[in-house]
Amino acid sequence: MRPARWRLAPVLLAQLALLGAPTAAPAAATAVPRASLTNIERQVMCVTCKIPLNVAESPQADRERAYIQGLINEGRDEAQIKDALVGQYGSTVLGLPATHGFDLTVYLVPAAVVVALLGLMALVLRRWRRAAHAPAPPPPGSSSLSASDSARLDADLSRFD
């Protein structure tokens, strides 16, 4: 038969474990979430419905939400959650066009349009400036008409008198 102190050892170990348990549990329970589902929903897409997740209503959208909520519960921040989402669903989940292939036009075309508009503005400004520096038109009455034109004009005007 084992001595009494050895028979008590498992009991003591169990009691020590119980003492440790309450200190660990509240720490997990009181962990403050580092991201919010509402915020992330606004920034990512429902990958099958191809609309923002915050307005999507489908089984897949619900699964995405559940996945995000799981990551929030694990204490991950927004950037980490987005990385995890890209790892699961690909970059389409972020709703941003790729930076290669045809999608590149999404970035290049607006830049080209801005450059074209700036060029157009520069051209128009130059024309305006040139027009401003051009010699002023002769004042009315100072036009030099030929003698015959002048005579014809006088004749025409006299008919209206």
What residues are paired with 51 via a beta bridge? 46
SS3 45: strand
User: For other proteins, which stretch binds (CB under 8 A), given 25-33, 83-91, 128-136, 138-146?
Assistant: 83-91
Cα–Cα dist 10/128, whole Å: 96
Tell me the helices (H) and strands (E) count for the chain, helix number first. Answer: 6, 2
In the complex, least distance from residue 65 CB atom to other proteins, rounded to whole angstroms: 11
Q: Which stretch binds other proteins (CB under 8 A): 19-27, 29-37, 85-93, 129-137?
A: 85-93
Element housing 5 (H / E): helix 4-29
Which one of 11-19, 29-37, 64-72, 133-141 is the stretch in contact with other proteins (CB under 8 A)?
64-72
Interacting positions 37-56 with other proteins (CB under 8 A): 47-48
Give the count of residues interacting with other proteins (CB under 8 A).
20
| Helix, strand or coil, per DSSP, at residue 51 | strand
For other proteins, the closer CB: 15 or 91: 91
* By CB under 8 A, residue 99 contacts other proteins: no
* 7 or 63: CB nearest other proteins: 63
CB of 57 to other proteins, least distance (A): 13
CA–CA–CA angle 81, 86, 91 (5° rounding): 135
Q: Which two tokens stand for residue 80?
A: 């980490």
Neighbouring-strand partners of residue 45: 52
Residues that bind other proteins (CB under 8 A): 47-48, 59-60, 63-64, 67, 70, 87-92, 102, 105, 109, 116, 120, 123
